Chains A and B, each alone.
Chain A
Amino acid sequence: EPEVTQTPSHQVTQMGQEVILRCVPISNHLYFYWYRQILGQKVEFLVSFYNNEISEKSEIFDDQFSVERPDGSNFTLKIRSTKLEDSAMYFCASSWTLNTGELFFGEGSRLTVL
């Protein structure tokens, strides 16, 4: 069964460092997403991406965040200068269509900022 894969599963970094979280969406999917879950809190939408550009983004997705699809398979989330409050689980997701609710989540990348 096709699945969304994410690496690393857990990353520890120092405050101020840049972090790149990687995702391989399901191969024939066209829409890609990042969601974030701060420990013990709800899962929150960060950004959606289609046709090599951002479709939607939330207030959380400020200038320190960027997304990219550098090749035909990877979808990355970059955090330029990490802050303590960026510590969270980051979920990548992908879908074939929009607005049908068929979203496939990866297993998450846990980021710990010290």
Chain B
Amino acid sequence: AQKVTQAQTEISVVEKEDVTLDCVYETRDTTYYLFWYKQPPSGELVFLIRRNSFDEQNEISGRYSWNFQKSTSSFNFTITASQVVDSAVYFCALSPPNTGNQFYFGTGTSLTVIP
């Protein structure tokens, strides 16, 4: 079974604080892709990152960083020095192979950054 769990439903932080959004996934496949998407209030899905299960190197992009731990089936997302514009719902997603690009999304974490 494929499943993505985002246990944090809502998080509030004060601007400039760091925040980590957790993502835990379940799959029996040995190869797969993991993703993070941002959904601002306007509703569109904004692609943030794609990670191949073979690549366990952590990645940093500006204020964003991702920590992929295959041993614990986690793919956590950290925003450093948060800004008000980071306020959105963030979705983690899993795409196993041979499913025709079916994405399994988590339930999302709603992040509010307070000025």
B37, B44, B100, B105 interface centre (most CB from chain A within 10 Å)? B100
B interface, over-half SS: loop
Which residues in chain B, 16-74, are within 8 Å of chain A measured between CB atoms? 33, 35, 37, 42-45, 47, 50, 52
Whether a CB of chain B sits under 8 angstroms from the CB of A103 is yes
Given A31-B100, A48-B100, answer yes or no on A42-B108 (Cβ-Cβ < 8 Å). yes
Given A105-B45, A110-B43, answer yes or no on A55-B105 (Cβ-Cβ < 8 Å). no
Q: CA of A110 to CA of B43 in the docked complex: distance in angstroms?
A: 9
A45 is contacted by which of B37, B43, B50, B103 (Cβ under 8 Å)? Answer: B103
Binding site for B on A (CB under 8 A): 31, 33, 35, 41-45, 48, 50, 55-56, 58, 89, 91, 93, 95, 98-108, 110
